[in-house]
Every structure is written in structure tokens, then in C-alpha cells.
Amino acid sequence: MTGGRSGRVYIRAGRIHHASAPGEPPAIDTGNLINSIQVEPTRTGAVVYSTSEYAPHLEFGTVKMGARPFFQPAVEREAPQFERDLANLESQIS
């Protein structure tokens, strides 16, 4: 969720905020979204989720706002390494 944003720039709570545009990951403002991401180990892996009420609205968008996905792009980015690690583990077990 770091990096430049191409959304609008405005002042909120006395600070300059550079918003994300639809399709970009959400811009960091308070850090609440990042701090809300949790990982719970399971028997066969882990469940990753956000406790933030607005996480689904950002990930999928609303009727008034385009999506600012952050989970799905992370999954897609990490999938190749996950698959390599899984294949490596499988070869060690066989």
C-alpha cells in the first residue's frame, strides 16, 4: 500500500492527503487498514483477514467508489513463490 498515488489531493484534518485512484491500492492515511490485517494459522495453512469495517469496501468498491484492491494483488504477487515453496516441500516429503 506504499508508493505514489494518482488520486486527488486534498486537506483532511489539517493534513495534506493524496488519495488513491480506482484500481490502485488504498493510500495510507492513519495506518488503521494495515494494522487491521491479521493472520491466523490453521492446521493446513493460514487465514489472512482484516478487522477493519471498511476493508471490503476498499477491496471490492461500492456503488459510489471504485475498488482499491490490496488483498488480491498481494495474493497474485506472492502465488509463484508460494507454489515453488510448496513444490519444494512436496519433494522433501516424497
Tens of pLDDT, residue by residue, the chain (94 residues): 666 677 888 888 888 888 889 999 998 878 999 999 999 999 988 899 999 999 999 999 999 999 999 999 999 999 999 899 989 988 998 7
The answer for 13, left when phi > 0, alpha when psi is -120 to 50, beta otherwise, is: left
Q: What is the pLDDT of residue 13?
A: 85
The answer for 92, left when phi > 0, alpha when psi is -120 to 50, beta otherwise, is: alpha
Q: What is the pLDDT of residue 66?
A: 95
Q: What is the pLDDT of residue 4?
A: 66
Beta-carbon contacts of 80 under 8 Å, excluding residues fewer than 6 positions away, are none
The pTM assigned to this predicted structure is 0.76
DSSP state of 23: T
Q: Can you tell me the distance from the alpha carbon of 57 to that of 69, in angstroms, rounded to the nearest whole number?
A: 9
